[in-house]
């Protein structure tokens, strides 16, 4: 196929050519970035929490009145033993928060007491000896808390647990080892809020309480402290139901707790949540953004395709005589078809070139303005491929109509 005659023909249709190229460029810029946003959001929401979520649910329990710390601790222990006795319940534990919850407690960890800045921030989860089993956490080194190690503390008391269990991610941050073994941290001393504590166990994975950007730095760096937090503000019971008995356990939980004491509030709205609901809520904006960008991409591509069909049809209509002349001079239908296909490919390539620049610029702006990540070139390639293919498909119908023009047209005057 000769490109030169196509280029000189395009010079006669500057406006249309520029419009199609511009449309392709802008579409490419948006589609690349949208696809990239979709990928980022999907990657974010498919991050593993490290816990066994299928049969897990959460009860948010607020206390009424102001029971003393000892009273409250006794009540929590009674509640837990009642919950554990339910036939549908595998195990139950209590904490101040849980992964994906959104809010919670985080503190800095130091290697030396006089260190100016913390080595890392970490999510703090209060736990008893049942926590590992309840959440289905995998202990990869050391040991779990013993029942006699579990104490209790009020919300304004100093957090000073003698021993802690930490995640592998945290262990590797605190004590980077050459061979990548997290065990290096086992038995080591660290300082939690300047209070000395010893690492007695390491679990494989436990996500922090928030998936928002402010918590991204310590996303999987978590600490379990052997304490029950006795806070009038609220206690979260984490309950692992037996397989297939999640509904039964969720139904039984509230009456069981109310039978223990009625001096509590379990909200109708969000007092009782299955972990599937927790997960959906934690990631709803990510999921929504991915869906929205998906819709935008599809509609945008459809509109761009429609635009190409419209303009090319117009060109075909305008050039019926010329096509007739070419056919009369011996051009085959195939030649006419490939003429229009090549013409579109040239315009699209020009547009795509400009589009790559626009896509990168738009991404840079998003990076500066919204702390997004840099666009990976893969998405630019995917975008270019999609648009070139789209252009070829869109031009196919009008080009085929052009190929049907009979040589007789050359002799017509109108």
Partner 1 sequence: MFAYYFQLGLRSLRRNPILTALMVMAIGFGVAASMTTYSVFRATSNNPIPQKSSQLFAVQIDNWGPEDNDKGEPASSLNYTDSIALMKAHKAKRQTALYPVGLAAVPADANLLPFRTNGYAVYGDAFPMFDMPFLYGGGWSSAEDDGHAAVVVIARSINDKLFNGANSVGREINLDGHNYRVTGVLDSWDPKPLFFDPVNTSGFDDPVDLFIPFTRAIELKMSTNGNNNCNKNPGDGWDAWLHSECIWAQFWVEAPSKADVDTYRQFLQGYAAEQQRAGRFHWAPNVRTRDVMDWLDHQNVVPAESKISLLVAMGFLLICLVNTVGLLLAKFMRRAPEIGVRRALGASRREIYGQFLIEAGTVGLAGGLLGLLLTGLGVFGVSLVFDPKIARLATLDASLVALTMLVAVLATVLAAFYPTWRAAQVQPAWQLKSN
Contact residues: partner 1, CB under 8 A: 15-16, 19-20, 22-23, 26-27, 29-30, 33-34, 37, 62-66, 103, 116, 155-158, 193-195, 231-234, 258, 262-265, 267, 284-285, 288-289, 291-293, 296, 299-300, 303-304, 306-307, 309-311, 313-314, 317-318, 362, 366, 369-370, 414
Distance between CA 13 and CA 316 in Å, rounded? 12
Please, what is the end-to-end C-alpha distance for the chain in angstroms? 29
Q: Could you tell me the smallest distance in angstroms from the CB atom of residue 409 to partner 1? A: 15
Strands 189-192 and 105-110, how do they pair?
antiparallel
Q: What share of the chain is helix, strand, coil (3-state, %, to 5)?
A: 55, 20, 30
For partner 1, the closer of residues 87 and 117 by Cβ is: 117
- Non-local (6+) Cβ contacts of 342 within 8 A are 1, 3, 6
Q: Could you tell me the smallest distance in angstroms from the CB atom of residue 56 to partner 1? A: 23
Q: Could you tell me the smallest distance in angstroms from the CB atom of residue 293 to partner 1? A: 7
Distance between CA 56 and CA 276 in Å, rounded? 8
Q: Could you tell me the smallest distance in angstroms from the CB atom of residue 387 to partner 1? A: 12
Q: Could you tell me the smallest distance in angstroms from the CB atom of residue 28 to partner 1? A: 10
- Non-local (6+) Cβ contacts of 160 within 8 A are 192, 193, 195, 197
For partner 1, the closer of residues 157 and 247 by Cβ is: 157
Residue 152, Cβ neighbours under 10 Å: how many?
18
Q: Could you tell me the smallest distance in angstroms from the CB atom of residue 373 to partner 1? A: 13
Please name every residue paired with 69 in a beta bridge, in sequence order, or none if there are none.
Answer: none
For partner 1, the closer of residues 4 and 262 by Cβ is: 262
Tell me the three-class secondary structure of 31-74, residue by residue: HHHHHHHHHHHHHHHCCCCCCCCCCEEEEEEEECCCCCHHHHHH
For partner 1, the closer of residues 296 and 410 by Cβ is: 296
For partner 1, the closer of residues 267 and 411 by Cβ is: 267
CB 128 within 8 A of CB 229: no
For partner 1, the closer of residues 70 and 335 by Cβ is: 70
H or E element in which residue 369 lies: helix 333-370
Q: Could you tell me the smallest distance in angstroms from the CB atom of residue 19 to partner 1? A: 4
CB 112 within 8 A of CB 191: yes
Strands 151-154 and 227-230, how do they pair?
parallel
For partner 1, the closer of residues 329 and 414 by Cβ is: 414
Helix 284-318 to helix 320-328 angle (10° resolution) is: 60
Q: Could you tell me the smallest distance in angstroms from the CB atom of residue 226 to partner 1? A: 18
Concatenate the DSSP letters of all residues of 133-165 into one string: HHHT--EEEE-PPPGGG-EEEETTS----SEEE
For partner 1, the closer of residues 184 and 211 by Cβ is: 211
For partner 1, the closer of residues 139 and 296 by Cβ is: 296
For partner 1, the closer of residues 63 and 175 by Cβ is: 63
Distance (Å) of CA 336 to CA 304, 307, 340, 389, 391? 23, 21, 7, 19, 17
Distance between CA 319 and CA 5 in Å, rounded? 14
Q: Could you tell me the smallest distance in angstroms from the CB atom of residue 313 to partner 1? A: 8
For partner 1, the closer of residues 20 and 76 by Cβ is: 20
Q: Could you tell me the smallest distance in angstroms from the CB atom of residue 22 to partner 1? A: 5
Q: Could you tell me the smallest distance in angstroms from the CB atom of residue 338 to partner 1? A: 23
Please give the DSSP secondary-structure letter assigned to residue 329.
T
């Amino acid at each position: 196929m000769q490109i030169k005659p196509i280029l000189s023909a395009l010079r006669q249709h500057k406006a249309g050519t520029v419009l199609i190229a511009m449309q392709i460029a802008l579409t490419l810029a948006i589609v690349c970035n949208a696809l990239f946003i979709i990928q980022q959001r999907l990657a974010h929401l498919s991050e593993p929490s490290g816990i066994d979520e299928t049969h897990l649910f959460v009860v948010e329990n607020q206390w009424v009145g102001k029971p003393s710390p000892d009273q409250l601790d006794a009540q929590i222990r009674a509640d837990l033993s009642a919950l554990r006795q339910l036939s549908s319940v595998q195990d139950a534990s209590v904490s101040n928060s849980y992964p994906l919850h959104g809010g919670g407690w985080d503190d800095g960890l130091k290697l030396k007491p006089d260190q100016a800045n913390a080595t890392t921030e970490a999510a703090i989860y209060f736990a008893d000896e049942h926590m590992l089993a309840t959440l289905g956490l995998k202990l990869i080194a050391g040991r779990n808390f013993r029942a006699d190690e579990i104490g209790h503390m009020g919300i304004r008391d100093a957090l000073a647990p003698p021993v802690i269990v930490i995640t592998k991610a945290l262990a590797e941050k605190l004590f980077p080892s050459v061979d990548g073994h997290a065990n290096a941290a086992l038995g080591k001393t660290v300082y939690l809020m300047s209070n000395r504590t010893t690492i007695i166990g390491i679990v494989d994975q436990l996500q922090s309480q928030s998936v928002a950007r402010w918590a991204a730095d310590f996303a999987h760096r978590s600490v379990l402290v052997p304490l029950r937090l006795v806070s009038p503000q609220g206690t979260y019971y984490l309950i692992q139901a037996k397989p297939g008995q999640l509904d039964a356990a969720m139904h039984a939980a509230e009456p069981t707790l109310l039978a223990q004491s009625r001096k509590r509030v379990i909200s109708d709205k969000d007092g009782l949540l299955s972990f599937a609901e927790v997960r959906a809520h934690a990631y709803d904006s990510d999921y929504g953004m991915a869906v929205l960008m998906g819709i935008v991409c599809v509609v945008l591509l459809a509109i761009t395709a429609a635009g190409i069909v419209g303009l090319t049809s117009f060109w075909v209509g305008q050039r019926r005589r010329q096509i007739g002349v070419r056919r009369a001079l011996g051009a085959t239908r195939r030649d006419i078809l490939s003429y229009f296909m090549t013409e579109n490919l040239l315009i699209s390539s020009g547009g795509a070139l400009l589009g790559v620049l626009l896509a990168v610029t738009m991404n840079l702006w998003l990076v500066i303005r919204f702390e997004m990540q840099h666009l990976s070139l893969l998405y630019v390639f995917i975008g270019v491929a999609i648009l070139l293919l789209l252009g070829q498909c869109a031009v196919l119908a009008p080009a085929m109509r052009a190929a049907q023009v009979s040589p007789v047209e050359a002799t017509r005057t109108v």
